[in-house]
Amino acid sequence: MRVLGVDPGLTRCGVGVVEGVAGRPLTMRGVGVVRTPADAELGHRLVAIEQGIEQWLDQYKPEFVAVERVFSQHNVRTVMGTAQASAVAMLCASRRGIPVALHTPSEVKAAVTGSGRADKAQVGAMVTRLLRLDAPPKPADAADALALAICHIWRAPAQNRLQQAVALHASKPATAPKGRIA
């Protein structure tokens, strides 16, 4: 499975491609950041992010795209920019028919480090170890993108089984319990 992880942001949008399957060593195929100038018009920044994501999709041809789920922060302006960058990544993948998965920051941290409260340094250290890298990817947005891809590779099989079980249950007709009615 090849996954493009996207850590959305307007100024720095982390991107990283990881390949492998759960239970086996994983391989980093690429890591980087799509940057936009903070003083540029919002529309131009979103187009630049789109062009950057499209280049990554063209070059690495991922089977899945994993994007960090935007959650409410204290700074509404920051969360809006993150949500807009996230929507661009989802749009680019969906336009190509590539499935998109959203993972919360705590879900990613728990998958990679074992703790949903891990800090950036812990995530970077575990990404470095799991992918057998010489040093943590810089900036932290790039390491976070790789962590998203790792999280998806590890969690996708269980999520798929759960979705199949729910679909199977929903397709069966409801039956009345057997026994005496008093």
Q: Which of 3-7, 20-24, 76-80 has the lowest mean pLDDT?
A: 76-80
Which of 19, 68, 119, 144 is labelled catalytic? 68
CA dihedral 26, 28, 32, 34 (to 10 degrees): -70
For the domain 2-171, what is the CATH code? 3.30.420.10
Count of other CB atoms within 10 angstroms of residue 151: 24
141 in active site: yes
| Boundaries of every domain in the chain | 2-171
141 among annotated binding-site residues? yes
pLDDT digits (tens, 9 = 90+) for 81-123: 999 999 999 999 999 999 999 999 999 999 999 999 999 999 9
39 in active site: no
68 in active site: yes
Task: Name the residue among 70, 74, 98, 72 with its Cα closest to residue 10.
Answer: 70
Judge whether 100 and 67 are in contact, CB under 8 Å: yes
Classify the C-alpha dihedral 36-37-41-42 as positive or negative. positive
Please check the confidence at residue 182 and state whether its pLDDT lies above 90.
no
Tokens representing residue 126 in the block: 């575990």
Pairing of strands 64-68, 12-19: unpaired
Please give the model's pTM, rounded to 2 decimal places: 0.87
7 among annotated binding-site residues? yes
User: Stretch 25-53: mean pLDDT, rounded?
Assistant: 98
